Amino acid sequence: MAEKNTAYSEESIKVLKGLEPVRQRPGMYTRTENPLHIITEVIDNASDEAIGGWCSAITVTLNPDGSVTVEDNGRGIPVGIHPEEGIPTVEIVFTQLHSGGKFAKGADSAYAFSGGLHGVGVSVTNALSKKIDVTVWRDKAEHHIAFTDGEVSSPLTSTPLPRREKKTGTRITVWPDATYFDDLAIPQAELKHLLRSKAILLPGLTVSLTQPDGKTETWHYADGLKGYLFESLGLVSDEDTVIPPFVGEHYANAEEEEFAEGEGASWVVVWTAEGPQVRESYVNLIPTPAGGTHENGLRDGLFNAVKSFTEIHSLMPKGVRLLPEDVFARVSFVLSARVLDPQFQGQVKEKLNSRDAVRLISHCTRPVFEQWLHQNVEYGRKLAELAIRQAQARMRQLQKIEKRKSSSVAVLPGKLTDCESHDTQRNELFLVEGDSAGGSAKMGRDKEYQAILPLRGKVLNAWETDRDRLFANQEIHDISVAIGVDPHGVDDDVDLSGLRYGKICILSDADVDGSHIQVLLLTLFFRHFPKLIENGNIYVARPPLFRIDAPAKGRKPVQKLYALDESELTRTLDRLHKEGHKDNALGISRFKGLGEMSAEQLWETTLNPDTRRLLPVLVGSLGREESVKRFQMLMGKGEAAARRSWMEEHGNEADADI
């Protein structure tokens, strides 16, 4: 056992103030390979001005001394004294985390649509820079302030502009600090791609990049998304695609109650028979290279439109079932979504997590595309034929795999509600706590590829159970038969060809009993099905504990939100308070268990791949040998004294919902 550190007192607790948290853990706030992301934060602020129609030009200059200057002709950062903090607002923006003009989302907010929501944008830039120089033109004056090592080094000064000069905007020069980055060189290709995308997505915006030698590139796209996608794919005309490009846009108006006014998307989609593909998406001009729920919404809209067309025109051959990936297999697209309150995954904003974005983008694209297909039946048939060929190729591949499998399959458990698909990689099995939740899961699931196996009570603690006695327990017997893999050891030569599901998901209540069931099932898999953990087949679903109902507010419609636990509930309520919601107007309900959820709620929060939270189970940094020792201490029958000692030492770390 490691030697205990007894020096734990009041002096051990440190409070990081100002920008110090960023300097202590820069990787939590930005990418540290190079300073591009902290420059991107400045560019995104200028882009947000352009989204609102306040800015028509953005200029980026790479200076000979290694600094970078970003200038726009927007409204200029406010410079007056902040009513609460008592210091210039521009100083707050650069020196305080979680400050900014993008939290408020009412009708009169400064930024109805923006990419920045974390409030740690340019303050992170300042924290990780040796120096920042800021010039603001607004209120008929030129204002200047400078920062060194995150602190104000030159206080705000203001000089009146000449009487007839009406210049507005912001110029920010950044000197990144080499202490925090592997390399200070800005990747040119990535920077150019970012700047060009701003010009593509905002008609009328001119974006330029000036190199240290004075050479300048300027982007201003008259053809918008289509011209950019064709250029990226090397296409000359519409004849190079299977059908003409699907180009359009739709933004919600005040009469559409489901979404906030102005939310929506613009897009261009092409299908090519062969060659490379381009798939790019943006949310409020922020690139999302890891995709997210807005891309899922586009896929959903296209698939359902094509599926409806094939059904109406009776085009599907017998025995062929169309799946979203069949329609999406040869798609290239550029999607620019506009979301009022986007929830990104992480500060670098590479992936959109907003659940409502799936419905939003599907709502925007499906009706338009469906109407276009029915108006152009010849093109609709061509697209349907391409999707059907993809489906047939997929099914032939699956048949080849099935022939290798043993035909002597055990009879599946009677309480297993199986899925229809035979695609092991796509299929999912949910081990659900209780018959009540199992019933909701059966109704809410996608029966095409999701199977449900309800578990009655708590599974046997299998840590010290011999392999040949496991099947005496009915629940473990049913799990093994359902997944198609026999119990085995870590060193066994295991044949996983009989595996019936690519994902085996533990779905239990979000309380102490649910956590106990999770532990028992994880013990079973770790001890007797270790290859499934090594193979990445085991997952834990995270259902929410709370539901929050918020009324319509300003541009934001009625919201139905979910929170995993108390801490997420607190963060969600804080965000709603900043949007102007009062406590007495918010409805907060607590789920006592999965059985209380309707089928629709269970699908939306826990089963839908686009909106659920699913954690993969892997052997962590302890390694397998140390993990075995930890399991032995926690689950072994003769380890009560060791467990008690461990809980006395670590019990204060638990955050239990009792």
Please state, in angstroms and as integers, the Cα–Cα distance from residue 589 to each residue in 9, 23, 275, 444, 596, following that order: 39, 39, 51, 21, 11
**Are 103 and 114 within 8 A, CB to CB?**
no
Tell me, letter by letter, the H, E, C secondary structure of 598-652: CHHHHHHHHHCCCCCCEEECCCCCCHHHHHHHHHHHHHCCCCHHHHHHHHHHHHH
| DSSP track, 298-343 | HHHHHHHHHHHHHHHTT-PPTT----HHHHHTTEEEEEEEE-SS--
Of the residues 249, 423, 446, 511, which is catalytic? Answer: 511
- φ/ψ of 594, rounded to 5, equals -60, -30
Q: Measure CA 62 to chain center.
A: 32
Q: Is residue 268 within 8 Å of 334, Cβ to Cβ? A: yes
Cα–Cα distance for residue pair 389/397, rounded to 1 Å: 12
Active site residue 513: yes
> Choosing from 44, 261, 341, 433, which is the catalytic residue?
433
509 is catalytic: yes
Sign, Cα dihedral of 624, 627, 629, 635: negative
Both tokens of 164, joined, read 């007839």
Name the active-site residue from 48, 370, 509, 579. Answer: 509
Contacts of 451 (CB under 8 A, 6+ apart): 416, 417, 418, 419, 427, 428, 429, 430, 445, 482, 501
Q: Are 268 and 330 in contact (CB under 8 A)?
A: no
DSSP string of 403-455, one letter each residue = HHS-S-PPPPPTT-B--S---TTT-EEEEEESHHHHHHHHHHS-TTTEEEEEE
SS3 191: helix
Q: How far apart are CA 222 and CA 294, in angstroms?
A: 25
Token digits for 243?
């059908």
State the DSSP string of 69-119: EEEE-SS----SBPTTT-SBHHHHHHHSTT-SSSS--STT-S-SS-S--SS
User: Which residue reads 């080499």 in tokens?
Assistant: 178
Q: Is 286 helix (H, G, I), strand (E, B) or coil?
A: strand
**Of residues 192, 191, 217, 195, the one with CA closest to residue 205:** 195
Strand 503-507 relative to strand 428-433, pairing: parallel
Three-state DSSP class for residue 48: helix
Measured N-to-C along each axis, helices 188-201 and 224-233 cross at an angle, to the nearest 10 degrees, of: 140
- In the chain, helix, strand, coil percent, each to 5? 40, 20, 40
DSSP per-residue letters across 348-411: TT-SB--THHHHHHHHHHHHHHHHHHHHSHHHHHHHHHHHHHHHHHHHHHHHHHHHHS-S-PPP
Query: What is the number of residues in the chain?
Result: 658
Residues in a beta bridge with 88: 81
Candidates 145, 192, 216, 224; CA nearest to 40 is: 192
Query: DSSP readout, 211-255?
Result: -TTS-EEEE--SSHHHHHHHHHHT--SGGGSSS--EEEEEE--TT
CB 487 within 8 A of CB 463: no
Mapped onto helix, strand or coil, the DSSP state of residue 568 is helix
How many CB atoms neighbour CB 375 within 10 A? 9
Q: Which residues are catalytic?
A: 433, 509, 511, 513
